[in-house]
């Protein structure tokens, strides 16, 4: 039997109160992006919750989630290793910028100081050298998005789930942030599921588009 590389979503169906929100079968190779397009309320965030393993029990759902051939469906969220980015970068206000990245580095990766150094190196990779000691509130929207991405990568995810992560950025930054995110995912060989209501996101993602709701 051949082992499928990347993310395989088979026979996913999600219902709420008997009404079907989502029906999806898809393969997302490493570095590829599957875009799920639909209006607000169509079930996009719900789909990501199912893939990530944190679906609210109010929903009825079935279907399998596999990564590189291994079945995640029965696993708890923390054992699935899905990296998630939301509309808001949600940086911890009580930690400095490097601290926000270091917190995602597994403790066995090194001493506190080693982890701090890894966080500083990740910041440099993201074009944010020297921002380690800064208060996250002083960063621009685009800079916060880059910190959130570095944090998620530090947790060594096996797949990336993006919940409208560009929708709060202005047009220029949105384009830049998209390119950076997709390039990073490609480089890291991560399958990506992007949910959005913005057609331009789908175009930039340059992959398969699955439509939900009445879009």
Residues that bind ligand ADP (CB under 6 A): 16, 21, 38, 40-46, 56, 58
Which residue lies nearer to ligand ADP by CB, 55 or 121? 55
Contact between 176 and Mg ion per CB under 5 A = no
As measured in angstroms, the least distance from the Cβ of 134 to ligand ADP is 32
Residue 87 contacts Mg ion per CB under 5 A = no
What is the spatial order of strands in the sheet that 209-211 belongs to?
82-85, 159-163, 192-196, 33-37, 209-211
Q: Is 45 in the site for Mg ion (CB under 5 A)?
A: yes
The C-alpha atoms of residue 78 and residue 208 are separated, in whole angstroms, by 28
- Quick one: 45 or 73, whose CB is closer to Mg ion? 45
Cβ 71 to ligand ADP, closest distance in Å? 24
Q: For residues 72 and 168, give the distance between their C-alpha atoms in angstroms, rounded to a whole number.
A: 31
Angle at 6 between CA 20 and CA 19, to 5 degrees: 5
Q: Work out what residue 207 binds among ligand ADP, Mg ion, none; the CB cut-off runs from 5 to 8 Å by kind.
A: none
Q: Nearest approach, Cβ of 153 to Mg ion (angstroms)?
A: 23
Point out which residues pair with 37 in neighbouring strands.
Answer: 196, 211
Count of residues interacting with Mg ion (CB under 5 A):
2
CA-to-CA dists, residue 154 to 109, 197, 198, angstroms? 10, 28, 28
The listed partner (Mg ion, ligand ADP, none) that binds 58, CB under 5 to 8 Å by sort, is ligand ADP
Q: Which is nearer to Mg ion, 44 or 115 (CB)?
A: 44
Q: Read off the tokens for 193.
A: 């599921």
Q: Which does 38 bind (CB under 5 to 8 A by kind): Mg ion, ligand ADP, none?
A: ligand ADP
> Do residues 84 and 48 touch, judged by C-beta distance below 8 A?
yes
Taking the complex as a whole, the smallest distance from the CB of residue 53 to ligand ADP amounts, in Å, to 15
In whole angstroms, the minimum distance from the beta carbon of 12 to ligand ADP comes to 13
Which residue, chain included where needed, has tokens 């996101």?
201
Which residues in 2-89 belong to E strands, given as ranges?
7-16, 19-28, 33-37, 59-67, 70-71, 82-85
- Of the pair 21, 72, the CB lying nearest ligand ADP is at 21
CA distances from 209 to 17, 67, 173, 205 (A): 26, 20, 23, 9
The residue among 58 and 171 lying less far from ligand ADP, judged by its C-beta, is 58
> Which residues would be at the binding site for Mg ion (CB under 5 A)?
44-45
């Amino acid at each position: 039997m051949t082992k499928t590389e990347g993310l395989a979503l088979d026979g996913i169906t999600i219902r709420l109160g008997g009404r079907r929100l989502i029906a999806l079968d898809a393969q997302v190779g490493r570095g590829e992006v599957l875009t799920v397009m639909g209006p607000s309320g169509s079930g996009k965030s719900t789909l990501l919750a199912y893939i990530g393993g944190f679906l609210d029990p109010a929903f009825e759902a079935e279907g399998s989630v596999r990564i590189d051939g291994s079945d995640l469906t029965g696993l708890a969220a923390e054992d699935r290793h899905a990296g998630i980015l939301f509309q808001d970068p949600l940086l911890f206000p009580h930690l400095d910028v490097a601290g926000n990245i270091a917190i995602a580095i597994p403790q066995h990766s090194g001493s506190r100081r080693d982890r701090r150094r890894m966080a500083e190196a990740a910041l440099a990779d993201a074009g944010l050298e020297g921002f380690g000691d800064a208060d996250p509130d002083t960063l621009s929207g685009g800079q916060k998005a880059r910190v959130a991405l570095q944090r998620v990568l530090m947790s060594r995810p096996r797949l990336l789930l993006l919940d409208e992560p560009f929708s709060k950025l202005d047009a220029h930054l949105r384009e830049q942030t998209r390119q950076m995110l997709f390039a990073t995912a490609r480089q890291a060989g991560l399958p990506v599921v992007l949910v959005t209501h913005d057609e331009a996101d789908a175009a930039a993602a340059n992959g398969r588009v699955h439509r939900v709701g009445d879009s």
